[in-house]
Amino acid sequence: MESLLDNPMKAVLYLKELTTIVQNQQSLIQTQRQRIDELERKVEDLIGENRQLREPHHYQLQLVPTSPPSPKGSKASPESAEESKRSPCCKSLVPQTPTTLCRSVGLARKAE
């Protein structure tokens, strides 16, 4: 008879433990959803910021001639030669996605 009483008690304890586990899992899921929502908002903000940063850059690229400057132009101003040494400009044949850009910057830093 005692075993019959133990079994329902064990079942009740087991169900309580399962209920606690389910509640904890639901809480974790809710926390993860909140984090995902926050990260999605940050991604949207960064996409907008990236778009704003690219627009002036594309405008500047349209203004810059694609051919290298003539020798006369480089002799005219030693200051511009100094500036070009500090901020080298090159064109890439590889489309620059954020991933490839980060890799190329990382490789350049490792080389230094």
Cα torsion 23, 29, 33, 39: sign: positive
- Of the pLDDT bands very low, low, confident and very high (cuts 50, 70, 90), residue 7 is confident
Rg (CA), the chain: 31
What are the tens digits of pLDDT across the range 78-107?
555 554 555 445 555 555 666 666 665 555
Please say whether the beta carbons of 99 and 105 come within 8 A. no
Name the DSSP letter for residue 94: S
The predicted model scores a pTM of 0.42
Please say whether the beta carbons of 15 and 22 come within 8 A. no
Q: Which amino acid is at 89?
A: C
- Report the mean per-residue pLDDT for the chain: 73
What are the tens digits of pLDDT across the range 14-44?
999 999 999 999 999 999 999 999 999 999 9
